[in-house]
Structure 1
C-alpha cells in the first residue's frame, strides 16, 4: 500500500514539476483572470470561449476512431464525418479554459468526459497532418491535468503517448523523402514536443529538441523563404509550416530550453527570418499569386474541386498569415501591430493568440 501511495505521489509530482508550459501556469492564470475582469478587450475575447463551454455542457462526445483528413478532398465522405467529430476539440479547449477562469467544476467534469472519450476511442496512426488537429487538446489537457483524477489523467496521457510513439516510428520519416523536410515534419515535431511537455516525458522532449535544429536547416532558407513555399508556390504552406514551429519553440522557451525562434542554422535559416519574410505579404506591401507553379497534384485537385483558399492564381490573403505574428509576438511584442494589420481588425486583441502571448510574456 505504501508503495502504491509513493508511486501516485511521484506521478503527481512529475506533472506538477513540469508545470504548464504549453498553456498557462498558475501565475499566468491569475493575470488572465484580472485581465478578463478589467480589460474589455480581453473580456471580449474570453466570453466567446465561456459561451462555447456553456453550450458544450449539453453535448455528448463524438470521438473518431480514426481521423480521416490529410490527402482527402473536402467532399470526401470520410473527411466530412471526421470534421463533425473534430468539432469536439474546440469544445474541450473552451471547457478547460472556462474551468481555469471560473473555477466551476462543471466545466472540469465535462472537459474530463470529452478528453477520456477521445482517449479511449481514438487510434493514432502517425500522420502528423491529422494529429496536428489535436494541438488545442494538448493545451486543454495541460490546463486541467492537475485537477483530473489519476485514472482520467492516465487515460489521456496514454493516448497522447501512443500518438507521439506513432509519429516517432512512422517509417516515412526514416529516409530522405520530402516528408522529413517539409511542413509534415514541422507538424510532427510540434505534436511530439507538445505531448512531451503535456505528459512530462523527457523522451519526447529530447526527440523534439534533437530534431528541431536539423529541421530548421532543411525546411527554412537563409533568405527567409522555405521549402514549402517553393514546392507549393504558396504562402499558404509557408504559414502552415511556421505555425506549428512557433507553437513548439514557444513551449521550449517557456520550459527553459534554447531560444529556437532566434536560432540560426548552419545554412543561415531561422524561424525569425522566415517570419520576417512573410511580413510584407501580411501588411499588404507585397502580393503573391498562390499555387501557380505548385509541384503537387493535390493542389490542382483541390482547385478543381472549388475548395476555398486553394484557387490557383488567387492572391494570398493577409489575414491567413496574421496568426503567425500573434504567435511570434511572444518573442517580439512589436509584431502585434503586424497581426492587427493582417486581420484588418480594430479590436484591441485581434485573436485569442495575441491575448495568450501577452499573458505569457
Structure 2
C-alpha cells in the first residue's frame, strides 16, 4: 500500500476500537447492499446547490467516500463483505466515469484511489485491470494538460485547482508505482509550490479570494500528495523553490489562525463574483469570521507528515476523522 498503513485489527482491538472507527465500520455495514451511483460525469464547480447537475453530482460523490471507507473497513476487520462492496462500486465507477479533467469536480476521486490502493491485490483481475487503466488515464491526462500550458502558469493553473490536480496525479502515480508518473508528480509539485506559495507562506488563493477556506483548499491536497510520496521515502514537506517557499511554510502561516491567535473575516476583498453570489445565496462560510475547526482534517493529515502539527490538530478536535484514524493510525514522530 502506498498511502494508508491500515493494519488489520485483532479481535480485542475491534472490540475496544475508537468510537470513530466503530462508527465508520457501522456506516459501511449499513450500505452493504447499495447499488452503485456511478455516473459518466460529475459537475459541482462554480454551481450553487440545486443548480443544474449539482445535487446529482453531490449524491453520486458519496460513493467515492464509501469506497474509501469500505476498503478501510475490510482492512480493519478482514470481512469479505466489505471487499465485495469495494469490488462492486469500483468496477462500476472505473467503467462508467469519463474524466473531464476538471480537478474541482474530480477531487473526490482520492477516495477511489485509496480504495484501489488498499484492495488491489485482493480484487478480481477484471476489476484490477479496469481500475489500473482508469487511474493511468486520469493521471496521464492531467500531466499532459499541465505540461501543455505556457509558462509561467497563471489563473487556475497556479491556484487551488492545481493543488487538486497534483493530488490526483501523485496519489495515482504512487499507487500504480509508475516511475515516469512519479517523477512528473514531484516535478509538478515543486513547480506548484513556487507558483502558489509566497516566501512568507501565504497562498495565491488568499490573495485572490481573501479567504482561509481557500487556503485549506490549496494545502490539503498538497499534504495528501506529500503523504503518498512519504510512503516511497520521499519527503515533500520541506521541498522549497528558488523563492524559498515550501509546504511547511504555508502550514506555518496558517497555524496562528488555526490556533485562534489571529482571526480573519472571510471573502471581504475577494476578486471573484462567484464568492459574492455564494454569500448572497446564504451559503455557510462565505461571510463572517473563519472557523478554525474547518482546518481540522488538514492538520490531522499534516501531523502524519510531522509530529509538530499534532498539538494544533488536537486543539481543533480531540480525534481525527474516522477514516484517517483507520488509514494512518499513528502520527509522525
TM-score between the two structures when normalised by the length of structure 2: 0.93
Query: 2: distance between equivalents of 1:322 and 1:84?
Result: 24
Query: 2: distance between equivalents of 1:93 and 1:253?
Result: 20
Asked whether the 8 Å contact 1:275–1:324 carries over to 2, the reply is: no
With 67-76 and 164-173 compared, the bigger mean Cα shift is at 164-173
Question: CA 1:322–1:232 in structure 2 vs 1: closer, same or farther (change >3 Å)?
Answer: same
Asked whether the 8 Å contact 2:139–2:168 carries over to 1, the reply is: yes
Q: 2:255 aligns with which of 279, 283, 287?
A: 279
Q: 1:68 aligns with which of 14, 32, 43?
A: 43
Q: Which aligned pairs between 1:172-211 and structure 2 lie closer than 5 A?
A: 174-175=149-150, 176-211=153-188
Aligned to 1:322: 296
Query: 2: distance between equivalents of 1:172 and 1:71?
Result: 25
TM-superposed deviation, 1:186: 0.8
Q: 1:117 aligns with which of 89, 92, 100?
A: 92
Asked whether the 8 Å contact 2:43–2:57 carries over to 1, the reply is: yes
Aligned to 2:224: 247
Q: Which aligned pairs between 1:86-105 and structure 2 lie closer than 5 A?
A: 86-105=61-80
Q: 1:303 aligns with which of 279, 287, 303?
A: 279
Query: 2: distance between equivalents of 1:74 and 1:170?
Result: 29
TM-score between the two structures when normalised by the length of structure 1: 0.86
Unmatched runs of 5 consecutive residues or more in structure 1: 1-19
Query: 2: distance between equivalents of 1:360 and 1:338?
Result: 12
Asked whether the 8 Å contact 1:322–1:339 carries over to 2, the reply is: yes
Query: 2: distance between equivalents of 1:125 and 1:70?
Result: 12
Question: CA 1:339–1:35 in structure 2 vs 1: closer, same or farther (change >3 Å)?
Answer: farther
Q: Which aligned pairs between 1:309-348 and structure 2 lie closer than 5 A?
A: 309-311=285-287, 314-343=288-317, 347=318
Asked whether the 8 Å contact 2:256–2:262 carries over to 1, the reply is: yes
Query: 2: distance between equivalents of 1:321 and 1:96?
Result: 25
Unmatched runs of 5 consecutive residues or more in structure 2: none
With 197-206 and 288-297 compared, the bigger mean Cα shift is at 197-206
Asked whether the 8 Å contact 1:93–1:136 carries over to 2, the reply is: yes
Higher relative contact order (CA 8 A, sep 6+): 2
Question: CA 1:191–1:211 in structure 2 vs 1: closer, same or farther (change >3 Å)?
Answer: same
Query: 1: distance between equivalents of 2:253 and 2:128?
Result: 41
Answer yes or no: is 1:168 the counterpart of 2:143: yes
TM-superposed deviation, 1:351: 2.4
Aligned to 2:4: 23
User: SS state of the match for residue 108, structure 1?
Assistant: helix
Question: CA 1:135–1:55 in structure 2 vs 1: closer, same or farther (change >3 Å)?
Answer: same
Asked whether the 8 Å contact 2:304–2:330 carries over to 1, the reply is: no
TM-superposed deviation, 1:357: 4.3
User: SS state of the match for residue 77, structure 1?
Assistant: coil
Asked whether the 8 Å contact 1:216–1:265 carries over to 2, the reply is: yes
Question: CA 1:173–1:230 in structure 2 vs 1: closer, same or farther (change >3 Å)?
Answer: farther
Aligned to 1:269: 245
The structure having more radius of gyration, on CA atoms, is 1
Question: CA 1:110–1:39 in structure 2 vs 1: closer, same or farther (change >3 Å)?
Answer: closer
Aligned to 1:359: 330
Asked whether the 8 Å contact 2:305–2:331 carries over to 1, the reply is: no
User: SS state of the match for residue 130, structure 1?
Assistant: helix
How many matched pairs? 329
Query: 1: distance between equivalents of 2:146 and 2:311?
Result: 42
Asked whether the 8 Å contact 1:89–1:137 carries over to 2, the reply is: yes
